[in-house]
């Protein structure tokens, strides 16, 4: 039993006291303001019949009102289902039913989504995250009662096209916080984040508040706006998002320099980086970049430190095990492989999920003897740096791996981004790829295929290579290779010529 993250949040807010902790547009809330809102919301929900041990679901928004609702749920001793934008109604309803939710909260911006969700899963208490909830009287001082079992359920980003419902307990949430603080430096931080309807940016908000710090929620994620907000708010930390978001910011700053001297750290990750663009970003931003690799199931797995970004050969790596994390590369039979050999990445960590909600078979397949499989294929070098090669399920014809080929393609100065994939054909899948040209530059597709041939051998040369304006991406920001295969399967013709869309 532990009150872990809840107690840390209350400590952080009390330590901040009259200092501002949540900034969103014109709203600037102090630690005391947030504690007052939490007390009011807890009293209001308790009066509506929400009890300790209940499950509260929330259509989480991108403003200050949403993290406050999580703290109120912790103050009531309730489990929380964090429904970020983009999670299908039926998946959210399944989680609510499985955890027997008694309340649905919703950010005002997501009011329209509440009705279909309530139709699919009716609950006793329905409440918008508005003044009605947050400005009523408090019932007494706020505490966070200890509770065991699941404390939080959320949804994986749908890499495989399916949103899985992932549950954590308090100990795992406390371990996430501890890992974040070990990696990102002693709190308090002044963190800038542009929440984009995903789970991880919201967690950065919770961790910052738990460290007594200040979160600046920037609704406009365009690079110019981010740069201006960093300067104006003297942010010390930036949660930049996916690698492509980091690159957009770094490339904007090349043309429009800004004063970023307040920044101590820029965190990015969650999808495969493009080493050439990371190098360029590191050149522009200096020793501020930190990359994380993680999964919904395992939490943080690795960290590529700022100093690692100065070593070009490490920019293809996702770094070394995050604090408190053990990593292994294993053969299909589950035996550990020595450094340099390729296999599936497994993780053992206190951050690991307790399981998939309502899916013991899938949980049993993903977790064995305390170790969780990641579905990622990679190799580790003798110093513990992990190099990811592909997703296990995305395997290319001939047992090839995508990332090394993509790295050769994106290493060419005319190429901004690339993805290779298995193209279904009647005689069996063939290796195909797409490239995105840099700044509208002409891309010599035959030259690129020859480049891959020279670097990696004939087998790795894509049989078909096309130019596209942008890579399609999953809601979680990963290249959508299933969409590419489906799009190009129909009309795959002569190399270099895109089939009709
Ligand atoms: P999800 O659980 O939906 O957040 O997706 C986790 C998956 O995203 C991992 O298994 C990796 O395939 C991918 N991923 C996350 N972070 C990174 C990273 N830094 N580099 C490459 N792939 C990543």
pLDDT tens profile 210-230: 999 999 999 888 999 999 999
| Ligand 1 contacts CB of residue 472 (under 6 A) | no
Q: What is the pLDDT of residues 161-197, one digit of tens each?
A: 678 999 999 999 999 999 999 999 999 999 999 877 6
DSSP letter for each residue of 186-223: SSP-EEEE---S-HHHHHHHHHHHHTT-EEEE-S--SH
Task: Give pLDDT tens digits for 50-77.
Answer: 999 999 999 999 999 999 999 999 999 9
Probe target for ligand 1 pocket from 154, 159, 345, with the most ligand atoms within 8 Å of CB: 159
Query: What tokens appear for 73 in the block?
Result: 């749920």
Contacts of 483 by beta carbon, 8 Å cutoff, 6+ apart: 472
Q: What's the average model confidence in pLDDT over 95-107?
A: 98
Contact 137, 43 (CB under 8 A): yes
Whether 302 is in the pocket of ligand 1, judged by its Cβ within 6 Å, is no
- C-alpha 184 – ligand 1 centre gap (Å): 19
Phi, psi of 74 (to 5 degrees): -65, -35
CB 253 within 8 A of CB 227: yes
Q: For ligand 1, atom 23, which residue shows the shortest CA distance?
A: 271
Rounded distance between C-alpha atoms, residue 217 and residue 233, angstroms: 11
Separation CA 294–CA 311 (nearest Å): 22
Q: Is the peptide bond before 188 cis (omega within 30 degrees of 0)?
A: yes
**Residue 500 in this model has a pLDDT that exceeds 50:** no
Tokens at 303, concatenated: 């960290």
Mean pLDDT along residues 308-315: 97
pLDDT of 317 higher than 70: yes
**Residue 154, helix vs strand vs coil:** strand
Q: Which band of pLDDT confidence, cut at 50, 70 and 90, is reported for residue 159?
A: low
- 329-345: pLDDT as tens digits: 999 999 999 999 999 99
What ligand 1 atom has the least distance to the C-alpha of 302?
19
- The tokens for 466 are 């096309």
From the list 99, 104, 46, the residue with the least C-alpha distance to 76 is 46
Whether ligand 1 lies within 6 angstroms of the CB of 271 is answered as yes
- Please say whether the dihedral angle defined by the alpha carbons of residues 351, 354, 359 and 362, taken in this order, is positive or negative: positive
CA atoms within 13 A on the CB side of 463: 16
**Rounded Cα–Cα distance for residues 37 and 46 (Å):** 14
The CATH number that domain 317-392 falls under is 2.30.38.10
Tell me the per-residue pLDDT of 261-300, one tens digit each, with 9 for 90 and over.
Answer: 999 999 999 999 999 999 999 999 999 999 999 999 999 9
CATH 3.20.20.70 for domain 395-491: no
Nearest CA to ligand 1 atom 19: 293
CA 411-339-159 angle, 5° bins:
55
Report the 3 state secondary structure along 217-270.
ECCCCCHHHHHHHHHHHCCCEEEEECHHHHHHHHHHHHHCCCCCCCCCEEEEEC
Q: Which residues of 474-484 are buried (b: 16+ CB within 10 A; e: fewer)?
A: bbbbbbbbeeb
Is pLDDT at 441 greater than 90 in this prediction? no
Q: Is the CB of 293 under 6 A from ligand 1?
A: yes
Which residues, other chains included, contact 4 with Cβ-Cβ below 8 Å and sequence gap of 6+? 151, 170, 171, 173, 174, 177
CA-closest residue to ligand 1 atom 20: 272
* Ligand 1 atom with least separation from CA of 156: 3
Instruction: Please state the atom number of ligand 1 nearest to the C-alpha of residue 301.
Output: 16
Lowest mean pLDDT among 156-165, 236-245, 384-393: 156-165
Model confidence at 140, pLDDT cuts 50, 70, 90, reads confident
What one-character DSSP code corresponds to residue 52? Answer: T
Report the pLDDT value the prediction gives residue 23, as an integer from 0 to 100: 97
First to last CA, the chain: 55
**Domain locations in the chain?**
317-392, 395-491
CB of 477 closer than 6 angstroms to any ligand 1 atom: no
Bridge partners, 493 (sequence order) = none
pTM of the predicted structure, to 2 decimals: 0.94
């Amino acid at each position: 039993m532990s009150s872990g993250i809840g107690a840390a949040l209350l400590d952080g807010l009390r330590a901040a006291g009259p200092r501002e902790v949540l900034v969103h547009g014109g709203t600037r809330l102090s630690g005391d303001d947030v504690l007052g809102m939490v007390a009011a919301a807890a009293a209001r929900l308790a009066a509506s019949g929400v009890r300790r041990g209940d499950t509260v679901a929330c259509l989480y928004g991108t403003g200050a009102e949403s993290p406050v609702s999580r703290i109120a749920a912790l103050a009531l001793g309730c489990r929380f289902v964090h429904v970020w934008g983009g999670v299908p109604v039926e998946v959210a309803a399944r989680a609510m039913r499985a955890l027997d939710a008694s309340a649905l909260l919703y950010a005002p911006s997501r009011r329209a989504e509440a009705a279909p969700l309530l139709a699919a899963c009716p609950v006793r208490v329905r409440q918008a995250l508005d003044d009605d909830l947050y400005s009523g009287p408090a019932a007494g001082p706020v505490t966070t009662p200890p509770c065991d079992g699941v404390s939080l359920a959320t949804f994986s980003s749908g890499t495989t096209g399916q949103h899985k419902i992932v549950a954590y307990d308090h100990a795992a949430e406390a371990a996430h916080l501890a890992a974040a603080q070990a990696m990102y430096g002693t709190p308090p931080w002044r963190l800038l984040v542009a929440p984009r309807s995903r789970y991880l940016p919201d967690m950065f908000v919770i961790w910052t508040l738990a460290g007594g710090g200040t979160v600046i929620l920037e609704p406009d994620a365009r690079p110019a706006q981010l740069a201006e907000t960093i300067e104006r708010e003297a942010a010390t930390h930036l949660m930049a998002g996916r690698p492509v978001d980091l690159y957009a910011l770094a490339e904007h700053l090349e043309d429009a320099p800004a004063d970023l001297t307040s920044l101590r750290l820029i965190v990015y990750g969650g999808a495969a980086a493009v080493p050439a663009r990371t190098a360029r970003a590191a050149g522009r931003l200096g020793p501020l970049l930190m990359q994380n690799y993680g999964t919904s199931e395992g939490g943080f797995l690795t960290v590529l430190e700022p100093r690692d970004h100065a070593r070009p050969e490490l920019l293809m790596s996702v770094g070394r095990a995050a604090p408190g994390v053990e990593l292994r590369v294993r053969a299909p039979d589950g035996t550990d492989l020595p450094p340099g050999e390729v296999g599936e990445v497994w993780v053992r960590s206190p951050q690991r999920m307790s399981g998939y909600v309502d899916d013991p078979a899938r949980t049993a397949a993903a977790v064995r003897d305390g170790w969780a499989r990641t579905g990622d294929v990679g190799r580790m070098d003798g110093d513990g740096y992990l190099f990811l090669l592909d997703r296990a399920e995305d395997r290319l014809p001939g047992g090839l791996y995508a990332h090394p080929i993509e790295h050769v393609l994106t290493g060419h100065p005319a190429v901004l981004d690339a993805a290779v994939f298995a193209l279904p054909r009647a005689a069996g899948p063939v290796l195909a790829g797409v490239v995105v040209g840099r700044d509208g530059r002409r891309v010599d597709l035959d030259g690129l295929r020859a480049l891959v041939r020279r670097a990696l051998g004939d087998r790795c040369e894509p049989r078909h290579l096309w130019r596209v304006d942008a890579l399609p991406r999953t809601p979680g920001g990963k290249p959508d290779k299933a969409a590419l295969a489906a799009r190009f399967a129909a009309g795959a013709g002569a190399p270099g010529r895109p089939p009709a869309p």
